[in-house]
Structure 1
Amino acid sequence: MDAFFASVEQMDNPELRGKPVAVGGTSDRSVVSAASYEVRRYGVHSAMSVVKARKLCPEIILVPGRMGRYKEVSHLVMDALREFSPTVEQASVDEAYLDGTGLERLFGPVDEIGRRIKARVKEATGLTCSVGAAPVRFLAKIASDMDKPDGMFIVRHEEVAEFLQTLPVGKIPGVGAKLLEVLKRLGVRTCGDILLKPGEYWEERLGKYGAALYDRARGIDPTPVTPCEAAKSCSAENTFREDTTDRALLRKWLLAQSERVGEDLRRHGYKGRTVTLKVKYADFSQITRSRSLEARTDNTAVIFETACGLLEQVKLPRAVRLIGVGVSNFGARPRQVTLFEEAPRRQEATSELDKAVDRVRRRFGGQAVTRVELLGFKKKPTNSAD
């Protein structure tokens, strides 16, 4: 999708159309979550601080994010794609891979399929998207960014070698800043530069990453399109308006986040064994601490108590800028039976209470039920992520 969050805001509010809109917080500690094409002309992009964005574009219009609305539109996009192929893998809220093998018999040549997909997504959502098509997955991903917005770029079988010859190596998905710096020191700027050395050379220097990189430079990618990939984790985090060392305040945030994570797990039918605490300090350094439980859980109290236990073990040499909690490791694992069954019985009882609270909140709103510990607690961070 093209500038998805910002485009949704402009669609829902006609007064924002054609204007430099960015989705994000309004305080100086916030960051830009998404930028419209109008504001990108000034050099504003996602993950940029609001302070810098305002310097680049004093006329910038900042709009709070509405993830629920973006997910709603995202569902429409994915449903539209599944009208063309049953093999659709959603990569994020605004991006997906579609296996087009054999679709020519139904919809015509690949360029016609691309046009039909674009038209159907526009009809379903009112928004534009950009389509990339190629023989393999990673090239299709690259192609989708070649002609944005509202574009289409096709790399055909016979064009792969020529396309890759001059392609900057940083365009390959997975090549981050650190690997890019290593490659620059080795004299690599394009995929063609990689092919000047044999595969053994790259595997010796970069291990399995070198072997994969050499394959990508030759247009090889065995990764299939896998529909309906299960979620691997569920988390919530908040950045504070003011840095803090107040552990009582941090625990309140962990409780509020544990409620969000627990409710999300229960809604989607997941349980996880591993609870992870994330702490980011004022100097932007961060740590994570994890603990694996004996049994999988979706229980708010268990998530919260585990996160608090992890927090107790963390020193606070500097004020905290962000805190978060997550649950992962959803794979099944038999619970070990012990002589002490009090905790499992308690967890079962509190899980029923969690489900009851979930039902009340779904019917009457998120503020219908509040834990005593959070009475009067004003959740006003600069940024949230789920």
Structure 2
Amino acid sequence: MHVDMDAFFLSVELLDYPQFRGRPAVVGGRSPRSVVTSASYEARQFGIRSAMPMAHALARYPRLIVIEPTREKYTRASQRVMEVLHQVTPKVEQLSIDEAFVDVEGARRRLGSPVQIANLIKEQIREATELSSTIGVAATKSLAKILSERSKPDGIGVVPAQRTREYLEPLPVSVIWGVGPKLLERLNNADIRTVGDLAAQDPVRMKRWLGSIGPQIVQLAQGDDPRPVEPRHEAKSMSVEHTFDDDITDAYRLEKYLLDLSYECSRRVRSEGLAAGGLTVKIKDIDFSTRTKSITLKAPASSGAVFFQHAKNLLEELLRQRWHPVRLLGVRADRVAAPVEQSETQESLFDLVDPSLKSNSKQDWEATDKILDDVAQKFPGAAIKPATLLSHERRARMPDG
């Protein structure tokens, strides 16, 4: 089955802002250049969707209620949801912060039929979080996800295994995993419009036409999805980004923003008791082109100082490659996992910081991180970090062009 929380970020916020229930509301930054993170079902009636630029959302409904996102609340709620699922079965494949696949075959003798288990999960999630969820129950992962999407909000969609293909055939081909806008256009131009149309295609011909994805989507259209639920014991990445109200042309200002992002990213990693095996810096230029630079760490790290120094080096490389005004800046922790026992290599990472700071021990930086974590927990949104990590001299402005 596929368990998906309903308008997750917004629903979490409405626990603190109940006066906004039943009204067009979204979660996102208030800047017109921000994007909608989550939209209420009332807002969706005006065509407002997740990932839509906030300026477009406000143009569709000027009285739209905009709630600033609070990451910590979403993480806590997600943890409670996943705890509920793991109490039912260890076979939980978390897809994102608010959705997961669950294999309940081993729990049937103890808890009943899949539909009974789905109802139990919904009840326990509501008790643990005060939030609603939608669940798709089917013989395959792909159909379970389709059912949860088509049963929102607060529903349960069920299709018995023997009716899988019968249910799929009349649906639009866009419901099949892997069929994005460009592929959908190609399929429609070939008069392949329903799942049934796609299921009738020859896999060999489809491979010649579309490549390896051709036979894959035919197989899914035929109701054949052999992928098992695969529990994941570690996160792949954690990232933070910031879109600027005005394009940044000053490298020193970028470095200050990078410091904030590095510490926020490291704090999120530490809050899960994890460490990162790599880091990536992302920038989006004024022409909307996106560039990234990554590094593999010599040893897993979770220190804000280490994150920032590596991120700073990566940013400098990106700016040397091409100097353009920057619209968006991001930091991503890669290969995030439970940390292994610390080694001398990890200690040496702290020497990456400015030479004047090399005397600071690993314990000093860990103590600093702990203080910053405590401040962030007590005062959400407080912008506090070690200013000594910034360059001592301002950089020149980026040249035009």
**Fold conserved between structures, TM > 0.5:** yes
Does 2:364 match 1:353?
Answer: yes
CA shift, 1:280, in A, is 0.6
Q: Who is 1:371 aligned against?
A: 386
Closer, same or farther: CA 154–350 of 1 in aligned 2, 3 Å: farther
**CA displacement 1:96-153 (0-9 Å, x = unmatched):** 1111114332333332222222222222222211110010111111110111111111
Alpha-carbon RMSD across the aligned residues, in angstroms, is 3.0
How far, CA to CA, are the matches of 1:61 and 1:4 in structure 2? 16
Q: How many residues align?
A: 373
**Contact 2:78/2:98 (<8 A) preserved:** yes
Asked if 1:159 corresponds to 2:163, the answer is: yes
Q: Give the Cα–Cα distance (whole angstroms) in 2 for the partners of residues 368 and 178 of structure 1.
A: 42
**Could you say which residue in structure 1 is the equivalent of 2:115?**
111
1:322 and 1:304 map into 2 onto residues whose CA distance is 17
Residue identity in the other structure for 2:372: R
Structure 1 residues 249, 140: closer, same or farther in 2, change over 3 A? same
Q: Deviations over 1:186-224 (max 9, x none)?
A: 332222222232211122233322232122112222222
Equivalents in 2 of 1:284, 1:368: separation in Å? 28
Paired position in structure 1 for 2:397: none
Partner Cα distance (2:268, 2:15) in 1: 28
Superposition map of 1:1-386 within 5 A: 1-314=5-318, 315-329=321-335, 343=348, 346=351, 350-365=361-376, 370-373=385-388
Q: Is the 8 A contact 2:235 2:335 kept in 1?
A: no
1:255-294 Cα distance to aligned partner (Å, 9 max, x none): 2222223333344454444332211122322111223344
Task: Check conservation: 1:299, 1:351, Cα contact below 8 A.
Answer: no
* Pairwise CA distance, 1:299: 4.2
Helix, strand or coil: the match of 1:142?
helix
Q: Matched residues in 2 for 1:132 and 1:342: separation?
A: 48
* 3-state SS of 1:145 partner: helix
- The alignment partner of 2:105 has SS state of coil
Pick closer, same or farther for the CA change 1:355–1:108 going to 2, 3 Å: same
**Cα contact 1:29–1:49 (8 A) shared by 2:** yes
* Structure 2 length-normalised TM: 0.83
TM-fit CA distance, 1:330? 5.2
Maintained 8 Å contact 1:252/1:374 = no
Letter in 2 for 1:372: A
**Aligned 8 A contact 2:238 2:268 in 1:** yes
Instruction: Provide the rounded CA distance (Å) in 1 between the counterparts of 2:374 and 2:385.
Output: 14
| CA 286–350 in structure 1, closer or farther in 2 if over 3 Å, else same | farther
Structure 1 residues 277, 361: closer, same or farther in 2, change over 3 A?
closer
Alpha-carbon shift at residue 356 of structure 1 (Å): 0.8
Give the Å deviation of 1:232: 1.4
Residues 11, 17 of structure 1: 8 Å contact kept: no
Deviation at 1:342, TM superposition (A): 10
1:257–1:368: structure 2 CA closer, same or farther, 3 Å change rule?
Answer: closer
Q: Structure 1 pair 118/330, CA: closer, same or farther in 2 (3 Å)? A: closer
Deviation of 1:11 (Å): 2.6
Counterpart-to-counterpart distance in 1, 2:257 and 2:153: 39
Identity rate, percent: 39
C-alpha separation in 1, matches of 2:317 and 2:84: 48
Q: Mind listing any 5+ residue stretches in structure 1 that lack a counterpart?
A: 376-386
Compute the TM-score of the two structures, normalised by the length of structure 1: 0.86
